[in-house]
Amino acid sequence: MATCRNWRRLGYEFLYTFLFFSSPQNIQRVCHLMDCNKNLGHWTRRLHVTRYFAGSASTIETTQNSLVSIIRHCNKLETFVVNWPLSVSLSAVANALCTYTPRSLRVLHINIPTAALAKLIFMLQCLHKLEAVHVEFDGPPPEHIRLGAAGDLELTLPVLRHLSLRGPFQDFVEQAIDWHLPALRILSLDFINYREDFPDLLEFLTEHGGELTILDLNCIPPLDVPAILDLCPLLTTFTFNPDWRIPGWENHQLSESPLVRSPHSHVTTIGLHHLMYAFGVGYAASYNKIDPFVTQSIRRQNDINFAALHRRNFPRLARI
């Protein structure tokens, strides 16, 4: 940047288009530069803050104020990614995004406390231009989440195509059933290790699954795959856990799996999660010595689901 004045003037556009921070100190340095030169944020299209060590000398309040100040300068921001949990900072960051980037922001990737669902809903209400949203909910779900006025909102996100959720997001899905999501095409749900208090996924897909082309379901408890496939007739990619016990599997042979009720004509790609008991190796081999009945039962379910992945059930199947 110190080569000459012309290069300095032209180089700023490339230097500030993508801001990536891995330490709070760098957030404060860039904040100071933008406060001194108001035009620098004009070039920024992507802002990414990755995780950093908690032993940093910067306080959360200082880092929060610096990040909010940077957002204030970036009025053409299109992508906002923060990988560290936004706990006490969520309100300030959400207000900044809703105030300065409601017309430009297209991609939102954040990590928030599970109990902060109401703040998330109010933030999404202001960001109508979002095309992709990834939310990771941090911490165990409380027995009751206070939503207040947020619980009565029926959001409309007219251009949202990709929705990705991770963690205990049950209450989010229950709220989103009544939202208007006409452009939703990709849905990814990662329940991690949570096994209880599942949302009514079938009701959600009844409202929003008709136009989905990609559905990624990662959870341990079984879901009703035949009903899910019926509710999503346009799917081209479907990912599930083949260890699931599909309803009615006890009465089927390996060649007659109940995985589908009728052939699904659009699926070309099937993804498989977990597979911890598959093929009799790894976890299955070690756990077989402890509880062979459970191991053999899950392997049986796994074999039945594998056997259903053929062209009769999925005429356009190309890859697994």
Query: DSSP alpha helices (H): ranges in 102-200?
Result: 117-126, 170-176
Q: Which is nearest to 156 in space by CA: 117, 186, 133, 182?
A: 182
- Containing H/E element for 208? helix 201-208
pLDDT at 68 over 60: yes
Least confident residue range of 8-17, 157-166, 225-234: 8-17
Token readout for 212 is 């989905």
What is the per-residue pLDDT for 283? 62
What is the per-residue pLDDT for 91? 93
> pLDDT by residue (tens digit) across 17-66?
999 998 888 999 999 999 998 889 999 999 999 977 555 556 778 888 99
Overall average pLDDT of the 252-277 stretch: 81
- Containing H/E element for 203? helix 201-208
User: What percentage of the chain carries pLDDT values higher than 70?
Assistant: 89
CB contact set of 80 (below 8 Å; sequence gap of 6+): 46, 47, 71, 97, 101, 105, 107, 108, 109, 110
